[in-house]
Every structure is written in C-alpha cells, then in structure tokens.
Structure 1
Amino acid sequence: MRLCLLGDSIAAGVGSTRREDTLGPLLAQHLRGLGHRIDLQVRAFPGARSADLRAQVRAAGAVDVAVVVIGANDLTRFVPPEVGAQQLHDAVADLRAAGAEVVVATAPDLSVVAHVPPALRDVVSAASRQYAEAQQRAVIRAGGVVAHVERAVTPRFAADPSLFAGDRFHPSAAGYRAIAEALAPAVEVVAARI
C-alpha cells in the first residue's frame, strides 16, 4: 500500500528529534501491525499552506492512501477560510480522481499554543474552528474523509505542555503519538478499502 503524507510541518514531523516518532512512520507502523505492507513517502514540508497542496499532490504521483494535515499556516497568515477550503477541496478531488483514499486532519485549535496571549485565546479558538469547519465541508464535498483530530487532541495539548516540542509550537514525539492515535481510526477505515 502506497501511503503518502501531505501538508505542513506537522505532516512533515517538525519538532520531533527522531523520524520514527513522526506521523508518517507512526501511521505506517500502525498499518503494518494490521498486516498491510506499506511504502511510505512524505511530501509535506514546513510552512506549507493549502495553496501548496496541488504541487505536493503532483509530486506524490500514484498513491493508495493520502493523509493530509493542513491549516495552521493558513490561519497564521490569515488566509480566508473559503479560499483555503477550496484549495484543499481541489487537492482532495485530484487525489480521489487518481484513485487514492484521502484522510484529512483539519486545522488545529491554535489557541492552545503558548505564544497566543490569554486575551486572544477565545478569538483564535473561534477562528480555528471556523477554518476547520470550512475545510470539513470541502473535504466531504470532494469525497475525502475527515479525521477529527483537533477534537481528540486539543484538550490533551492544552493540559500537557510535554506534548509540545521545545519551540512550544510543534508537537514533541509524545504529541505526534497523540495525533497519530487520533488519525489511526480513519486511516484504518480507508486502508481497508484498498
């Protein structure tokens, strides 16, 4: 099974000191444990926004399962939700047209990041939620599957600083394990279709 990670620094694994503690290898290991033979590639890169997905999709070539993690950089650069959601829709539609199953983790709730001033946390949380909701509608419309990672991990990241790397923005190895656990059920479902 050809598994590909697309998206931003979280999909790329920034913050972890060991490659095997990042999303791609963790998800590949999980699927191998279910009996799948996995060929993993990671096309994600730090700083990527939804506008970068089309090029990542082209670079990936033929894949069976694509996992997309995108939205944080769109939020920090004030990309309007409808613009980023349409770009995500188009990438998911292209992947689906090429025969790939697609799982998307929508924008995280950036209000849990330590750099966000307490007075702005409610505003940042609302903006994050609005962006994620626009993404969810776009992914479903394009035939992808939404993994509600933010619902599962936001309370954990808010309560446990050890889930953040030293930069207090990206996940640590423990944070990546938490995200992978939240992604795994949706990835399992689509992998069973292959």
Structure 2
Amino acid sequence: MRLCLLGDSIAAGVGSTRREDTLGPLLATRLRQAGHPVDLTVHAVPGARSADLRAQVRRAVAGSVDVAVVVIGANDLTRFVPAHVGAQQLHDAVADLREAKAAVVVATAPDLSVVAHVPPALRDVVSAVSRDYAEAQQRAVIKAGGVVAHVERAVTSLFAADPSLFATDRFHPSAAGYRAIAEALAPAVEAAAGLHA
C-alpha cells in the first residue's frame, strides 16, 4: 500500500526530534499492525499553503499513491488566505488525487487559538476564524470526494491543557503531540486503507 503524506510542516514532522515520532511513520506503523504492507512517502513541505498542494499532488501521482493524507491550513491562516480561496485549492488537490484513484483523508486547519503566541484577548477571535476556515475546507473536501478526519475536535482541548504536546518552538507538535494527532487521524486512515486491501 502506497501511503503519501502531503501538506505543511505538521505533515512533514517539524518539531519532533525523531523521524519515527512523526505522522507518516506513526500512521504507517498503525497500518502495518492492521496487516497492510506499507510503502511511505512524505511529500509535505514546511511552510506550505493550500496553493502549494498542486506540486505535491503531481509528485505523489507520478510515484503512485493508494492512500493520501493531507494536513493543511495553518499557514493559510497565518498568511490571511481567504477561506474560499484556500478551500478551492484544497478541493482541486483532493479531486486530482481522487482522479488518480487514491483514497484521500484530510486533516483541516487547526485551532490556532491554543498556540502560546496568541494573546489571550485574541483567542476567541482566532478560534472562530480557525473554525470558519476548517468548515470551508470540510465542504470542499467532501465535494471533491475526500474524507475529513476531525483531528481538531479530538486534540484542541488536549493541546490547550498540556504544553508538553508542543515542541520547544511552542508552535509545532512535540513527539507526544504527534502521537495525539496520529491517534485522531488513524481511524479514518485505516478505513481508507481498508478500501484498498
């Protein structure tokens, strides 16, 4: 099974000191434990926005992909990309992956209000903007034939309560943070893998 990770620094594993504690290897291990032989490729690029997915999708399709996991949205939010623009770019990426017969699982934009750098007075606003962006992404993913894994629902409260889930830069996940995200992603990824068994 050809598993590809696409997207931004979270999909790439920035913040963890060991590769095996990043999303790709963690998800690949889960799939192997479920009986799937897995070939993992990570096309994600730190700093990527939804506009950058097109090039990543081209590389994934050229190398062949059965299950694609896309993590995108944080950099769109920090760069003030309008929700309808980023959502359309994500839609197109998912549609291209689906046309290549890949199952696609997307983790939408995180709730950036839990990041320590956000002033307390702005957290409600940042949370609302993050939620609106993720909802636009969700509609786009479903329209394109992908599946949304509601990672933010599962991990936002965990990250808000436990600083150890953040790396030393206080923005990216630590190894423990990646394990929490992988745990939230795993059911949707395992279901997608089952379609290709």
TM-score w.r.t. structure 1 length? 1.00
What SS class does the counterpart of residue 51 from structure 1 fall into? Answer: helix
What SS class does the counterpart of residue 195 from structure 2 fall into? Answer: coil
Aligned counterpart, 2:59: 59
Considering only aligned residues, what root-mean-square deviation do their CA atoms show, in Å? 0.3
Structure 2 portions without partners, runs of 5+: none
Residues 124-150 of structure 1 deviation map (CA, whole Å, 9 limit, x = unaligned): 000000000000000000000000000
Q: Give 4+ residue runs of structure 1 displaced > 3 Å after superposition.
A: none
Q: Where does 1:90-105 land on structure 2 (aligned, <5 Å)?
A: 90-105=92-107
Residues 57-79 of structure 1 deviation map (CA, whole Å, 9 limit, x = unaligned): 00112100000000000000000
Aligned counterpart, 2:18: 18
TM-aligned CA deviation for residue 29 of structure 1: 0.2
CA–CA distance in 2 between the matches of 1:134 and 1:57?
20
CA–CA distance in 2 between the matches of 1:127 and 1:59?
31
Identity of aligned residues (%): 86
| Equivalent pairs, count | 194
CA–CA distance in 2 between the matches of 1:191 and 1:46?
26
Q: Where does 1:3-42 land on structure 2 (aligned, <5 Å)?
A: 3-42=3-42
1:129 pairs, out of 125, 128, 131, with 131
2:170 pairs, out of 155, 168, 171, with 168
CA–CA distance in 1 between the matches of 2:2 and 2:83?
30
What SS class does the counterpart of residue 96 from structure 1 fall into? Answer: helix
Q: Where does 1:63-102 land on structure 2 (aligned, <5 Å)?
A: 63-102=65-104
TM-score w.r.t. structure 2 length? 0.98
CA–CA distance in 2 between the matches of 1:160 and 1:48?
26
> Which one-letter code corresponds to 1:33 in the other structure?
Q
> Which one-letter code corresponds to 1:119 in the other structure?
A
> Which one-letter code corresponds to 1:43 in the other structure?
H
